[in-house]
Amino acid sequence: MLLEVRDLHVEFRARDGIARAVNGVSYAVDEGETLAVLGESGSGKSVTAQAVMGILDMPPGRITGGEILFQGRDLLRMKEEERRELRGARMAMIFQDALSALNPVLSVGEQLGELFTVHRGMSRKAARARAVELMDRVRIPGAAQRVRDYPHQFSGGMRQRIMIAMALALEPALVIADEPTTALDVTVQAQVMDLLAELQREYRMGLVLITHDLGVVADVADRIAVMYAGRIVESAPVHDIYKAPAHPYTRGLLDSIPRLDLKGQELYAIKGLPPNLTRVPAGCSFHPRCPMARDVCRAEVPPLYEVSEDRGSACHFWRECLDGDER
**What, of Mg ion, ligand SF4, ligand ATP, none, does residue 154 touch, CB below 5 to 8 Å by kind?**
none
Beta bridge partners of 94: 177
45 binds ligand ATP (CB under 6 A): yes
**What, of ligand SF4, Mg ion, ligand ATP, none, does residue 302 touch, CB below 5 to 8 Å by kind?**
ligand SF4
For the chain, the C-alpha Rg in angstroms (whole number) is: 21
Residue 96 or 313: which CB sits closer to Mg ion?
A: 96
Residue 149 or 213: which CB sits closer to ligand ATP?
A: 213
Environment class of 203 (CB within 10 Å of its CB; exposed 0-12, middle 13-18, buried 19+): middle
Pick the binder of ligand ATP from 23, 34, 46, 313 (CB under 6 A).
Answer: 46
Residue whose C-alpha is closest to residue 162's, from 118, 220, 101: 101
CA distance 119 to 172: 12
| Contact assessment for residue 196 and residue 180, using Cβ atoms and an 8 Å cutoff | yes
Environment class of 99 (CB within 10 Å of its CB; exposed 0-12, middle 13-18, buried 19+): middle
Residue whose C-alpha is closest to residue 109's, from 142, 149, 136: 149
Site size toward ligand ATP (CB under 6 A) is: 15
Q: Which stretch binds ligand ATP (CB under 6 A): 40-48, 71-79, 147-155, 287-295?
A: 40-48
228 binds ligand SF4 (CB under 6 A): no
317 binds ligand SF4 (CB under 6 A): yes
**What, of ligand SF4, Mg ion, ligand ATP, none, does residue 41 touch, CB below 5 to 8 Å by kind?**
ligand ATP
Residue 93 or 134: which CB sits closer to Mg ion?
A: 93
Question: Which amino acid, residue 324?
Answer: G
The distance of closest approach from Cβ of residue 187 to Mg ion in the complex, given in angstroms and rounded to an integer, is 23
Query: What letter does residue 44 receive in the DSSP assignment?
Result: S
Alpha carbons within 13 angstroms on the beta-carbon side of residue 96 total: 9
Question: Which amino acid, residue 274?
Answer: P
Pick the binder of ligand ATP from 42, 172, 248, 283 (CB under 6 A).
Answer: 42
- Contacts (CB under 5 A) with Mg ion, residues 20-79: 46
Binding residues (CB under 5 A) for Mg ion: these are: 46
